[in-house]
Amino acid sequence: MNIAECKNATALAEAQSWLANFNDALQAQDAKAAAALFIDDGLWRDVLAFTWNLQTQYGRAEIERVLRETLARTKPVHFHIPAKRTPPRWVSRAGSDTIEAIFEFETAVGPCHGTLRLVPDGGTLRAWTFVTNLQELRGHAEWKNARAVVGDTRTFGGENWLDRLNRQRAYDDHDPAVVVVGGGQAGLSIAARLHALGVDTLIVDRHERIGDNWRKRYHSLTLHNEVFVNHLPTIPFPPSFPIYIPKDKLANWFESYVESIELNFWTGTALESGSYDAAQQRWNVTLRLKGGSTRVMHPRHLIFATGVSSIPYVPQLPGLEDFKGAVSHSGSFANADHWRGKKALVLGSGTSGHDVAQELQANGADVTLVQRSPTYVVSLKEAQSVYAIYQEGIPFEDCDLLATSMPYPVLQRSYQISTARGREVDKAILEGLAAKGFKLYFGEDETGFQMMYLRRGGGYYFNVGCSDLIVAGKIGLMQFDEIECFATEGVSLKVGSVVPADLLVLATGYKNQQDTVRAYLGDAIADAIGPVWDFDEGGELNNMWKRTAQPGLWFTAGSLAQCRIFSRYLAIQIKALEEGLLS
């Protein structure tokens, strides 16, 4: 046995010993003894298993309190290392050497999975992080007996399979239990999970065709993270897919995904308004259908899956009404080839701003990028380091579990390390940008792009070549604070000169989902739920994938990986409510 094998054998024994002690303490209803197995500032993140919430307990006292409050109800048992999962091993996480172990256990509600990390503490090994995830409701596994329920699809003299599917999708004689607003990765993921649990779900999307939320965006758009991370639930991408998926390929996949799983999807359908009937515990939602007619539905659950990118944000720009050129938001910008030989301004220096500027430049336009605020820049290859778990050679389901296993302080430290490394790797291009007057930023606490995304949905750029074009002078750079106002022919600068422009692209981002709620459900509900996205005081994303202050209102958003992973937990909660297991 070599040194690595010996260390991992020890890791297995230590993890098994810790779990046995923890299990014994819980069976004795001794929350204090269980909490003593953690370091003083240990972290326990629970994803529904004990608390029916996504929340993190900080320190022994808090861990003891929550265990004491939940043990009698949850009845957790049989904490063990499963043979089929990645075995315990020594790894480095957030700069700390730790034994990382995947474990399983049972509660009164159903089977659970979790992640334990042990570190030396006073001559023994104690838990640094401990994460518990409810994996499914007992008796309600995804796709449980699905083929048996469908039965024989062969029919003579009656409805065939397509007839039944079309009738199911028409909702002529009933309403769905769930209406999902938005048919991108967030909407598809949660609808697939709910469908797999037997919950009647309808997706509505304003676009004419499934996938148009990607298909209709700027010509060169391609995903900026690798295919290995991005699968949707149930059906992974085929091995023929490229490492970075082009927007049209992804859009077409969305279309085939809906048909493969037989999701209920109404295109050309927009949420017009909604209100909640507390007495009936259901929504009254008005949908605007193709052709302009309306349909009122009464689902018990309404899920906003309009994403972090929902309502385009257009800032107040002095004199913009006088500008005689074309104006477009980056979310709807297309046909860069129409601007060959023309002068274009792109306002905003995030990923969309850089990509649109590069596309315009490649199509022969004279482009200037206008920077509104300091921006984080990282090379595309280096950005993939935040998904390193998926390159460790362990099973995909283990990677997804580990992706939930970083409580906020550990996540924060991990991103600080990766950001510092990225600054060294990208030093040359960053220095070149700074020399051109580009204002660089590395996050509020030097945590880089991932925390910027989780906090505010943008403010960064993965360099796929635009930074090099700026450094080379092939794309111009202007600071927004140099502008006095917009004018008929372009922008007037504070120094007195005018920069002419035929096109202005506003790469200015999107409003918070709370604003989406305000637009469709009114101020009272929007004010009651508060902000959506960004971190709350406990280090969890506000209102995401969990119950909100408004009964029956849910939110899902994020990358394909986030949508795939956390749609499981959102679907479990809705299924539990539908089955009367959760009040």
pLDDT of residue 303: 98
pLDDT at 349 over 80: yes
pLDDT of residue 498: 94
pLDDT of residue 467: 98
pLDDT at 100 over 90: yes
269 CB-near residues (< 8 Å, 6+ apart): 204, 205, 206, 287, 288, 289, 290
User: For residues 460, 464, 468 and 470, what is the CA-based torsion angle, rounded to 10 degrees?
Assistant: -50
496 CB-near residues (< 8 Å, 6+ apart): none
pLDDT of residue 158: 84
- Which fold is adopted by the domain 3-134? Nuclear Transport Factor 2; Chain: A, (3.10.450)
pLDDT of residue 552: 98
Supply the mean pLDDT for the chain: 94
pLDDT at 307 over 70: yes
pLDDT band for 148, please (50, 70, 90 cuts).
low
- Report the distance separating Cα 226 and Cα 384, nearest Å: 7
Residues 157-195: pLDDT tens digits?
Answer: 888 989 999 999 999 999 999 999 999 999 999 999 999
Over its C-alpha atoms, the chain yields an Rg (Å, rounded) of: 26
- Segments making up each domain of the chain, as ranges: 3-134, 176-310+511-578, 320-506
Please give the CATH architecture assigned to the domain spanning 176-310+511-578: 3-Layer(bba) Sandwich (3.50)
Percent of the chain with pLDDT over 90: 88
CA distances from 478 to 322, 348, 437, 499, 504 (A): 20, 10, 8, 10, 13
pLDDT at 150 over 70: no
pLDDT of residue 147: 56
What's the chain's length in residues? 583
DSSP string for residues in 79-90: EE--TTSPPPEE
pLDDT of residue 162: 93
pLDDT of residue 207: 95
CATH class of 320-506: alpha beta
Specify whether the CB–CB gap between 487 and 498 falls below 8 A. yes
pLDDT band for 482, please (50, 70, 90 cuts).
very high
User: Which neighbouring-strand residues pair with 120?
Assistant: 125
pLDDT band for 511, please (50, 70, 90 cuts).
confident
CATH topology agreement for domains 3-134 and 320-506: no
Mean of pLDDT values over 251-271: 97
